[in-house]
Amino acid sequence: MKKKRVAVLISGRGSNMASLIEAAARPDYAADIVAVISSRSEAGGLALAAAAGVSTAVVSDKGLDKPSFEAALDARLRDSGAEIICLAGFMKLLSAAFVDRWLDRILNIHPSLLPAFPGLHTHERALAAGVKVHGCTVHYVRAVVDDGPIIAQGAVPVLSGDTADTLAARVLAVEHRLYPHALGLVASGRARLSGDRLTVDGLAATADAVLMSPAP
């Protein structure tokens, strides 16, 4: 099996990145993590990636305007031979021009059941809204923040005693299973886009999004 080459973009501790690297170590997994690129030199995920034998790099925007930063990032990605980009806590907004250059090849994980609660502070907002189910979403990236065709979602119940921290921890545990699952669907070719409509082989999907609560 020829594995898809994947670059992971991070800005912090890289816990979702680590789950992708762990999955990619399996011989039957359809993706290979070939590079981890951080926007911050102090990101903890760089050491984790290096310890796993993954090539790392820092592309900072310090002293650069957005076009120059994105040009440097694009060059690094192309040097790595990446075919798919996974955003994993990458705290930079990508321009429409960059997204268009990599259209349908950028994935992101967001800590809510999109389209509910795009943006920041999702767990606090979920609790304030009184929702009974919360979770996370892996989606293709579009120029609008936290928008794009949904690949997979994982749900958790909101418990009566939850705080933002306890809810976040429960969602994060699902994220670590969901992101490798979604990347596997894309890298294997089982998940395919026609325009903005997603189809997944082997799943009875009647809508654009596949709702999936991963098994433990």
Same domain, 69 and 141: no
Entry pTM? 0.93
Out of 54, 74, 102, pick the residue that ends a domain: 102
Q: Which two tokens stand for residue 107?
A: 């994935």
CA nearest neighbour of 102 among 90, 114, 110: 90
Amino acid at 214: P
H/E run at residue 105: none
Length of the chain: 216
Integer-rounded Cα Rg, in Å, for the chain is 17
Nearest to 151 by CA among 108, 112, 102, 98: 108
Judgement on whether residues 122 and 171 belong to the same structural domain of the protein: yes
Percentage with pLDDT > 90 across the chain: 89
Task: For residues 19-35, give the mean pLDDT.
Answer: 98
Give per-residue pLDDT as tens, 173-216. 999 999 999 999 999 999 999 888 998 887 644 333 444 443 33
Alpha carbons 36 and 48: distance in angstroms, whole number: 10
177 Cβ contact partners less than 8 Å away, ≥ 6 residues apart: 19, 154, 214, 216
User: Does residue 74 sit in the same domain as residue 129?
Assistant: no
Q: Which two tokens stand for residue 47?
A: 């050491």
77 to 13, 82, 172: CA distances (angstroms): 20, 6, 27
Shared domain for 145 and 87, answered yes or no, is no
Please choose, from the candidates 96, 104, 102, 101, the residue with its C-alpha nearest in 3D space to the C-alpha of residue 193.
104
User: Does residue 110 carry a catalytic annotation?
Assistant: yes
Last residue of a domain, which of 102, 125, 147?
Answer: 102
Identify whether residues 52 and 145 lie together within a single domain. Answer: no
Q: How many domains does the chain have?
A: 2
Residue 144's CATH number: 3.40.50.170
Q: What domain range includes position 80?
A: 1-102
Claim to verify: residue 61 and residue 153 sit in the same structural domain: no
3-state secondary structure of 189: coil
Residues 144 and 59 in one domain: no
**150 has pLDDT over 80:** yes
131 and 203 within one domain: yes
141 and 77 within one domain:
no
pLDDT tens per residue across span 82-117: 999 999 999 999 999 999 999 999 999 999 999 999
